[in-house]
Amino acid sequence: MRISGEPVYLTIVSHIKKSIMSGQINPGDMLQSENELVSFYKASRVTVRKGLQILENEGFIYAWPGKGYFVAQPIHDMFSLRFSEDESGYDISYSKINVISPNKEIQQALQIQPNNKVIEICRVIKKGIKPVSYDIKYIPYDKGTPIIEEEIHYAVFPKIAAAKSAPFAFHTNLEITAELPSETIAKLLSCSIDTPLLVVYRTFIGQEGNRIGYGKKYMIKEYGSLKATSGYMYERSRSVHQPQRK
Amino acid sequence: MRISGEPVYLTIVSHIKKSIMSGQINPGDMLQSENELVSFYKASRVTVRKGLQILENEGFIYAWPGKGYFVAQPIHDMFSLRFSEDESGYDISYSKINVISPNKEIQQALQIQPNNKVIEICRVIKKGIKPVSYDIKYIPYDKGTPIIEEEIHYAVFPKIAAAKSAPFAFHTNLEITAELPSETIAKLLSCSIDTPLLVVYRTFIGQEGNRIGYGKKYMIKEYGSLKATSGYMYERSRSVHQPQRK
DNA sequence: AAGTGGTCTAGACCACTGA
DNA sequence: CAGTGGTCTAGACCACTTG
């Protein structure tokens, strides 16, 4: 039974979501059974299930086959972080593009041997004339394979990696630290060596665990801080609570 | 038609996912229509749709009503970050619990007036005898409402907030920066004032945009870095590509 | 007008949980 | 054993996109 064009399953979703958000029902409480909801909303079981599926995907509830649906435990320590290498709006000057022999750090990060060469791409990112960020990327150098244009021109990992494999076949790990710059980096960022920098280490990992790339990005305050938001991500585990019928 | 007990819709999911991960079909390509998939997998339309729904939720494809399903554009700049206030495994010593008048920073963060009092909770987190982190939290002080035990004992925002409203009715914003410690903080962390610290600012926001709490956490290198992972999150927008039939 | 995805129904069989 | 969620089917009507 639709009201005002909204699909029935969305009505069910927002209705139940409201009960949860308002604290009317709480983590661990049991929802009405599918059949009860079918009667209540005068909808088919498929439609009710579609609504419940959405609530489960969004982490508000979880299903326990044979027992029922339960309100989940909210998770408040998972965050969505946006971190892009796309520096649109900034001025980029390349300081170095080289083929080098990797040092220990890079060997370990890329899981390669000392004799495997690596492409090194350095960039300085400026806001006007003021340098605000410096980044270095390392990409395994496949002897014989020509250096692709993306590597030099964009120096953006996703594009480089996509050019070397399928666009969905890799993911990334980040590590965020606070560090003081080396003298070299302080000079490049024209800051003093006691300016605290936000440093992000990034590893690009292929489908089979192979390392596609490794990079470091140094940011001064003026570049901006990293921002993250806790979406609504919740505990799906069913072992945590003693279910209670509401 | 089930093979080896796996539900048909999951077979469809992994089959199509494989085509995408391997680069057999690429972002912008059109998938077979639902009806074609029904014939191909000898399943009902509902079952095929269930599989496609999952692929859409996971960001591999998107649906364009009237046209078809398309392979999505992967997003590689969204990350999942874990940041917890739960310091299990560390030693916690409280240095201060006060009711104070908020300064400008706190007034703005909590969106309150200077005459509204605020509970201030400071903690020093130690690894053995070595202090590795210091955090301060501010919670609006409701005159009349007694200070709840969670505020003092746990000083963990989710618990405090859950005690004051429904456990699902709030979310958090983070801001991550690199800073040098003030003399006070350097003393508390027994480090020099030129030790770069990772600082996380956190705002707890209620359902109606009201501020439930505000906190800062200072971390030295020994506390550990922040780690994040790019899950598989992809562009759902349909306007980006020229659809192509594969 | 033909094809596409979006919504919805009524009914079926299964495996699991709990009394 | 009755009740629960998990899977699946065949068929219907709709709005949208394309020729």
**Each residue's pLDDT tens digit, A188-238:** 999 999 999 999 999 999 888 899 999 999 999 999 899 999 865 555 555
Q: Residue A245 CB closer than 7 angstroms to strand C?
A: no
pLDDT at res. B155: 64
> H-helix or E-strand containing B150?
helix B149-153
Q: Mean pLDDT, to the nearest integer, of B187-208? A: 94
Q: How far is the CA of A56 from the C1' of C5 (A)?
A: 23
Asked if residue B93 has pLDDT above 50, the reply is yes
Give A-chain residues touching B173 at CB under 8 angstroms. 227-230
Which residues, 6+ apart, have CB-to-CB distance to B28 below 8 Å? Answer: B70, B71, B73, B241, B242, B243, B244
Q: Chain A residue with minimal CA distance to B59?
A: A168
Least confident of A66-70, A143-147, B15-19, B118-122: A143-147
Can you give the pTM of this predicted structure? 0.89
Is B172 within 8 Å of B202 (Cβ atoms)? yes
pLDDT for res A4: 56
> Considering only CB atoms, which chain A residues are within 8 Å of B224?
none
pLDDT value of residue A1: 44
Q: Which residue of A has its CA nearest to B81?
A: A79
B126-142: pLDDT as tens digits = 998 999 999 999 999 87
Q: Tokens for A227, please give them.
A: 């921002």
A144 CA to C9 C1' in angstroms comes to 62
Tell me which protein residue sits closest to nucleotide C5, measuring alpha carbon to C1'.
B65
Distance separating alpha carbons of residues B126 and B133, to the nearest angstrom: 7
> Higher pLDDT residue, A145 or B166?
B166
Within 7 Å: CB of B64 and strand C?
Answer: yes
A147 beta carbon to strand C: under 7 Å: no
pLDDT of residue B239: 44
pLDDT > 90: percent of chain B: 64
- Facing residue for A227 by CB, picked from B85, B174, B180: B174
In angstroms, the separation between the Cα of residue B83 and the nearest Cα of chain A is: 5
**Is strand C less than 7 A from the beta carbon of A13?**
no
In window 122-141 of B, residues with CB < 7 A from nucleic chain C are: none
> Residue A241: its pLDDT value, please?
43
The pLDDT, as a whole number, for residue A149 is 62
Q: How confident is the model at residue A66 (pLDDT cuts 50, 70, 90)?
A: very high
Quote the minimal CA–CA distance from B41 to chain A in Å.
21
Specify the pLDDT at position A147: 65
| Structure confidence at residue A88 as a pLDDT band (50, 70, 90) | confident
CA distance B129 to A3: 63
Å separating the CA of residue A43 from the C1' of nucleotide C10: 11
Mean pLDDT is lowest, of B12-26, B86-100, B142-156, for: B142-156
Q: Which nucleotide is nearest to A44 (CA to C1')?
A: C9
Is the C-beta of residue A46 closer than 7 Å to nucleic acid chain D? Answer: yes
pLDDT higher than threshold 70 for residue B240: no
**Closest CA of chain B from A148, distance in Å:** 19
Q: Taking CB atoms and an 8 Å limit, are B178 and A179 in contact across chains?
A: yes
Residue A32 has pLDDT above 50, yes or no: yes
Residue A68 CA from chain centroid, whole number: 32
C-beta separation of A32 from B180 below 8 A? no
- Return the amino acid letter for B54: I
What is the average pLDDT score of chain A? 87
Q: Give the pLDDT score at A244.
A: 42
pLDDT average, residue stretch B152-160: 71
Burial code of A100-133, b = ≥16 C-beta within 10 A, e = fewer? eebeeebbebbebeeebbbbbbbbbbbeeeebbb
Q: Would you say B190 and B182 are in contact if contact means Cβ atoms under 8 Å apart?
A: no
Report, as an integer, the average pLDDT of B164-168: 83
Using CB atoms, pick whichever of A21, A198, A228 lies closest to residue B169. Answer: A21
Q: Of A98-102, B196-200, B229-233, which has the strongest mean pLDDT?
A: B196-200
Q: Which nucleotide is nearest to B65 (CA to C1')?
A: C5
Higher pLDDT, residue B158 or A46 = A46
**Cβ B35 to strand D below 7 Å:** no
pLDDT tens for each residue of B52-64: 999 999 999 999 9
* Whether the Cβ atoms of residue A36 and residue A69 lie closer than 8 Å to each other: no
Percent of chain A with pLDDT over 90: 63
Residue B142: the pLDDT is: 78
The arithmetic mean of pLDDT across residues A68-79, rounded, is: 92
Q: Which of A83, A198, A228 sits opposite B178 (nearest CB)?
A: A198
A67 Cβ nearer than 7 Å to chain D strand: yes
Residue A47 — pLDDT band, cuts 50, 70, 90?
A: very high
What is the least distance, in Å, from the CA of A114 to any CA of chain B? 27
Give the C-alpha separation, A157 to A130, whole Å. Answer: 24
Output the average pLDDT for chain B. Answer: 87
Which residue is closest, via its CA, to the C1' of D5? A65
Whether residue B160 is predicted with pLDDT greater than 50 in this model: the reply is: yes
Which burial class, exposed, middle or buried, applies to B38 when counting CB atoms under 10 A from its CB (0-12, 13-18, 19+)?
middle
Chain A partners within 8 Å of B208 (Cβ):
none
Spell out which residues of chain B touch residue A231, defining contact as CB-CB under 8 Å: 171
Look at residues A80, A150, A147, A92 and name the one whose alpha carbon lies nearest to residue A125: A92
Least CB–CB distance from B196: residue in A158, A174, A179:
A179
Mean pLDDT, rounded, for B68-77: 92
Spatial distance from the CA of B13 to the C1' of C11 (Å)? 26
Q: How confident is the model at residue B149 (pLDDT cuts 50, 70, 90)?
A: low
State the nucleotide closest to A6 in CA–C1' terms.
C7
pLDDT by residue (tens digit) across A151-188?
Answer: 666 667 777 777 777 889 889 999 999 999 999 999 99
B89: pLDDT confidence band, cut at 50, 70 and 90? Answer: confident
Question: So what's the pLDDT on residue B60?
Answer: 95
